[in-house]
Amino acid sequence: MSWAVVSGGVGSIGRPVAEYLADRGWQVLALDREPAQSGPRPTLVAKAIDVTDSLAVNQALDEAIPSREPIALLVNAVGLIWNEPLVSLRGAGWQAHQVDTWRNVIEANLTAPFVVSSAVVLRMARSGGGAVINFSSVSGQGNAGQAAYSAAKAGVEGLTKAMAAELGPLGIRVNAIAPGFIDVPSTRTALAGDRLSAIADRTPARRLGTVDDIIDAIDFLAGNTFVTGIVLDVNGGFRL
């Protein structure tokens, strides 16, 4: 049986993705800084680690997945939505974007998928190939008030294309999904309800996205063996 690895596998999107894959017959390893909140499915193993730590990631892979068993799918659902303008007026004066939060957002959204991918593709290459699916965002095109998040997601898109070019000869396909506004708890935490309603009204599909929309995209990118190096917009037609 082949394995799927889901980074961010306890998050608003990563957790239902990991559970869906487990229910579809995959052996699943979910990696996340946060521990799993409920009992795992028999074919789902969850490990709470720092996914920006290459030693921790490699140790988790070695502990959970026997070396003889192939990893055929990696879904990098790890990420952190962050809103912070480059400059803002707070209290008595102007304040610049904090460097510490910039670093944190880059680490969570760009460094983490790079670290996890670097570890997993070694196993994929040894066993004949597989598919990697990264997560960008509609904000990867540049969104006012999200400088760090936009930069990180644009970086994910560049990383995806570089990986696809390098790893294709090894039988590894690499693509990315760029979701629009998905109706999950992390989105509702980042944006007030009235803003989400306005976004839904501006979206040609006239609604927010759902986790099922994301899962459909994952199914397509995991299954189509002639698609690599693309960023698939899953945004209902929404443009910033």
Catalytic site includes residue 20: no
Average pLDDT over residues 83-90: 87
Q: How far is residue 153's CA from residue 150's CA, in Å, rounded to a whole number?
A: 5
Q: What is the mean pLDDT of the chain?
A: 94
Residue 38's pLDDT band, with cuts at 50, 70 and 90, is low
Q: Which of 20, 82, 135, 149 is labelled catalytic?
A: 149
Per-residue pLDDT tens digits for 144-154:
999 999 999 99
Identity at 234, one-letter amino acid code: V
Structural domain contains residue 222: yes
The domain in which residue 67 lies consists of: 3-234
Residue 193's pLDDT band, with cuts at 50, 70 and 90, is confident
Locate 45 and state its tokens.
């193993």
Q: How many domains does the chain have?
A: 1
Burial of 158 (0-12, 13-18, 19+ CB in 10 A): middle
Q: Are strands 130-135 and 172-179 parallel, antiparallel or unpaired?
A: parallel
Q: Please calculate the CA angle 153-200-197 and round it to the nearest 5 degrees.
A: 110
Structural domain contains residue 15: yes
Highest mean pLDDT among 66-70, 114-118, 189-193: 114-118
DSSP 95: E
Average pLDDT over residues 52-59: 98
CATH number at residue 143: 3.40.50.720
Structural domain contains residue 240: no
Structural domain contains residue 239: no
Structural domain contains residue 130: yes
